[in-house]
Amino acid sequence: AQTVTQSQPEMSVQEAETVTLSCTYDTSESDYYLFWYKQPPSRQMILVIRQEAYKQQNATENRFSVNFQKAAKSFSLKISDSQLGDAAMYFCAYAPALTQGGSEKLVFGKGMKLTVNP
């Protein structure tokens, strides 16, 4: 069974600085998707960024980028120029590719609370 591990339950960063959130996963599949979701105090789950395993290029969305290391099964999220609005719970998630009989079932890590200090 696939598992997702977020080893740091909490982190803090100063406003305008850069922070990296770590995530590792375990799977025997070769094709899959990885995600970072953000959950602010409003509780809404917001997709931050998505990475396809077959793509070597790391995904980027504005201030958010990932470091995807397929061999190491590592998927870290870098937030640049941190803003107060980035304070939230962050969840790493894995989904098998549809071609391998997978559904859209996401397997989530336990989450990490990010605090942004002014």
Partner 1 sequence: EAQVTQNPRYLITVTGKKLTVTCSQNMNHEYMSWYRQDPGLGLRQIYYSMNVEVTDKGDVPEGYKVSRKEKRNFPLILESPSPNQTSLYFCASSLRGSGTGELFFGEGSRLTVL
Residues of this chain that bind partner 1 (CB under 8 A): 4, 9, 32-33, 35, 42-45, 47, 50, 91, 95-99, 102-106, 108-111
Question: On the CB side of 37, how many CA atoms lie within 13 Å of its CA?
Answer: 17
| Residue (28 or 99) nearer to partner 1, CB | 99
Least distance to partner 1 from the beta carbon of 16, Å? 29
Least distance to partner 1 from the beta carbon of 96, Å? 8
AA identity, residue 17: E
| Residue (42 or 118) nearer to partner 1, CB | 42
CA-based radius of gyration for the chain: 14
CA dihedral 1, 77, 45, 25 (to 10 degrees): 0
| Residue (63 or 111) nearer to partner 1, CB | 111
Query: What's the Cα-to-Cα distance from 32 to each of 15, 39, 53, 55, rounded to whole Å?
Result: 33, 23, 5, 10
Least distance to partner 1 from the beta carbon of 6, Å? 8
CA 58 to centroid of chain Cα atoms: 12
| Residue (36 or 116) nearer to partner 1, CB | 36
